């Protein structure tokens, strides 16, 4: 199943229409206990993501696999491709594209907004998709997007593979001073995996994301390094994801 969707980016005075690509859905093969949105990396799409997830031994999860808007990407010399937000070279002091981070996070939340009340919801992703998943985790903890609009979901699990954390420098300011924000941060389980031979998103960015999230109050954070793994996924890593999700979401159909 797939469908197209568009969204209005929020927070700007003249909201521009953002066209998201097709969303692909993998239905649960067993009892529906959880729904995960899974986000692809730069230049990829929801179709290839759904094919990968279909083979996981998680029959009680429904997977929603959206496709990012197509936009010119600075890191690719302005070449247009699917991207959740605009980005240049990764750096510790590079600017964050708050408008598109919020627009994509709102689109992702909207995809989960109609799930049944007894179904646990979460977000995961690879590379730029992992960055969006981690950004969504910070919005959940803060209780609002970067533009101040309220964040609507009760996230139960977040997974980031080969990614980084956008907005890391301002994260503690969003959460410190709010007991509710600290409580949400402390209760949200996060799994991050990263290959130590990743040449596209260097391993140090995965480490720094974990350090930043931990210092902001995220307590249930697991970081799994993978020796000699580059910027791609392997069955061993996806097995780690499957067993972690099964444990934290309390799934009864893991095999």
102 in active site: no
DSSP states of 134-147: HHHHHHHHHTB-TT
Average pLDDT, the chain: 90
Closest to 14 in 3D by CA, of 105, 78, 77, 99? 99
The dotted CATH code for 21-249 is: 3.40.50.1820
CB-CB contact of 208 with 168 (8 Å): yes
The pTM of the full predicted model, rounded to 2 decimals, is 0.92
What pLDDT does residue 88 have?
A: 75
DSSP alpha helix (H) spans, the chain: 46-54, 98-112, 128-142, 171-175, 179-187, 203-215, 235-249
Per-residue pLDDT of 19-40, as tens digits, reads: 999 999 999 999 999 999 999 9
Active-site residue, from 10, 187, 222, 231 = 231
CB-CB contact of 66 with 123 (8 Å): no
127 in active site: yes
Q: Is the pLDDT of residue 12 over 50?
A: no
List of residues 6+ apart from 208 with CB closer than 8 A: 92, 164, 165, 168
Active-site residue, from 198, 209, 242, 246 = 198
Per-residue pLDDT of 181-222, as tens digits, reads: 999 999 999 999 999 999 999 999 999 999 999 999 999 999
Q: In what order do the strands lie in the sheet with 61-65?
A: 2-8, 17-26, 61-65, 34-39, 120-126, 155-161, 190-195, 221-226
What pLDDT does residue 184 have?
A: 96
Active-site residue, from 9, 104, 127, 209 = 127
First to last CA, the chain: 25
* Overall size of the chain counted in residues: 255
- Longest Cα separation, the chain: 50
Average pLDDT over residues 95-100: 87
231 in active site: yes
């Amino acid at each position: 199943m797939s469908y197209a969707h568009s969204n209005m980016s929020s927070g700007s005075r003249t909201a521009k229409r953002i066209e998201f690509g097709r969303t692909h859905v993998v239905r649960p093969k067993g009892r529906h206990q959880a729904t995960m949105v899974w986000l692809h990396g730069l230049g990829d799409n929801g179709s290839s993501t759904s094919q990968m997830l279909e083979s996981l031994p998680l029959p009680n999860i429904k997977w929603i696999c959206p496709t990012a808007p197509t936009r010119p990407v600075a890191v690719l010399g302005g070449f247009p491709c699917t991207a959740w937000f605009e980005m240049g070279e990764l750096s510790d002091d590079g600017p964050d594209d708050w408008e598109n981070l919020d627009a994509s996070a709102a689109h992702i939340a909207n995809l989960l907004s109609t799930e049944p009340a007894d179904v646990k919801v979460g977000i995961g992703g690879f590379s730029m998709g992992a960055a969006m998943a981690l950004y969504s985790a910070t919005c959940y903890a803060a209780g609002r997007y970067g533009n101040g609009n309220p964040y609507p979901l009760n996230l139960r699990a977040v997974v980031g593979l080969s990614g980084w954390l956008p907005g890391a420098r301002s994260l503690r300011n969003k959460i410190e001073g709010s007991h509710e924000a600290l409580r949400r941060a402390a209760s949200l389980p996060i799994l991050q995996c990263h290959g130590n031979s990743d040449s596209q998103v260097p391993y140090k960015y995965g480490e720094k994301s974990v350090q930043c999230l931990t210092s902001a109050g995220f307590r249930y954070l697991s970081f799994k390094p993978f020796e000699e793994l580059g910027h791609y996924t392997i069955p061993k890593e996806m097995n780690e994801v499957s067993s972690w999700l099964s444990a934290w979401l309390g799934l009864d159909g893991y095999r």
